[in-house]
Structure 1
Amino acid sequence: MSATPLLQAWFEIMDSTTPERVLDMVTEDFRLSILFSTGDQTAEFEGDRAGLVVYLAQREVSVLTHHVLQGALVDGTELVLGETRRDGGFEASFNASAQLSEDREKVRRLLICRTPWVRFTA
């Protein structure tokens, strides 16, 4: 069993053809910040549920896959280190921190950082 089941499910949904299903995984008081670097350009997506909708609208659906390399649960917060791949090849490393609801069923706070400049695998 994964040490980070909610984030594991989150990224599996994000890799699917229906990533908008993650909207069902957030609390009413949800907040996020996603710092996204392609190497040439950087963007930040932030806000509440509406901010997540904006982020989802600009994504390439089912193009990138997320691969969690390591994960840990610390005091109700899931932390992962992973990489995104395009056509099986490395595109970027990412880390994600998700503060969970008290029942650990939903994401309350989400911070994701992504960059192609640092790689943790060979």
Structure 2
Amino acid sequence: MTATPLLHAWFEIMDSTTPERVLDMITDDFRLSILFSTGDSAAEFEGDRAGLEVYLAQREVSVLTHHLLQGARIGDAELVLGETRRDGVFEASFNASAQLTADGRQVRRLLICRSPKVRFTD
């Protein structure tokens, strides 16, 4: 997934035992929205660095893993389609869009949407 090196690294870190390291990958003016659906209910995590910290605090560390299926970089944006798996079993599909700094090293804006209702793999 060399087309999206920053998001590739982001999700590898999120799957590690120290996901809080993604805080080093965001800008001072960072904003995010993560719409997280379980199929029966949905929650949105939004905000700045503090919003990301709230999201990280509620996660099950190293339980769900992210598997990137496709990705592309367009200008200063990386976009990926993937799925989360629990113990290797499909749990949900997700897409993520990140606006990066000019050097491609940090995330300025992050939008992630997740749902178990649509699957892109069989």
Whether the TM-score (by the shorter chain) exceeds 0.5 is: yes
Q: Which runs of 5+ in 2 are unaligned?
A: none
> What CA distance in whole angstroms lies between the structure 1 residues aligned with 2:69 and 2:105?
22
Is 2:55 the counterpart of 1:55? yes
For 2:67, the equivalent position in structure 1 comes to: 67
For 2:36, the equivalent position in structure 1 comes to: 36
Matching residue's letter, 2:74 = V
State the Cα deviation string for residues 3-58 of structure 1 (Å, max 9, x = none). Answer: 00000000000000000000000000000000000111200000000000000000
Using the size of structure 1 for normalisation, the TM-score is 0.99
Matching residue's letter, 1:98 = A
> What CA distance in whole angstroms lies between the structure 1 residues aligned with 2:16 and 2:69?
19
> What CA distance in whole angstroms lies between the structure 2 residues aligned with 1:72 and 1:31?
21
Query: Which aligned runs of 4 or more in structure 1 are off by greater than 4 angstroms?
Result: none
Q: Percent identity?
A: 82
> What CA distance in whole angstroms lies between the structure 1 residues aligned with 2:69 and 2:104?
21
Q: CA deviation at 1:77?
A: 0.1
For 1:11, the equivalent position in structure 2 comes to: 11
Q: CA deviation at 1:73?
A: 0.2
Using the size of structure 2 for normalisation, the TM-score is 0.99
Aligned length: 122
Matching residue's letter, 2:77 = T
> What CA distance in whole angstroms lies between the structure 2 residues aligned with 1:104 and 1:93?
25
> What CA distance in whole angstroms lies between the structure 1 residues aligned with 2:121 and 2:91?
12
Matching residue's letter, 2:7 = L
Instruction: Provide the aligned C-alpha RMSD in A.
Output: 0.7
Q: Which runs of 5+ in 1 are unaligned?
A: none
For 2:46, the equivalent position in structure 1 comes to: 46
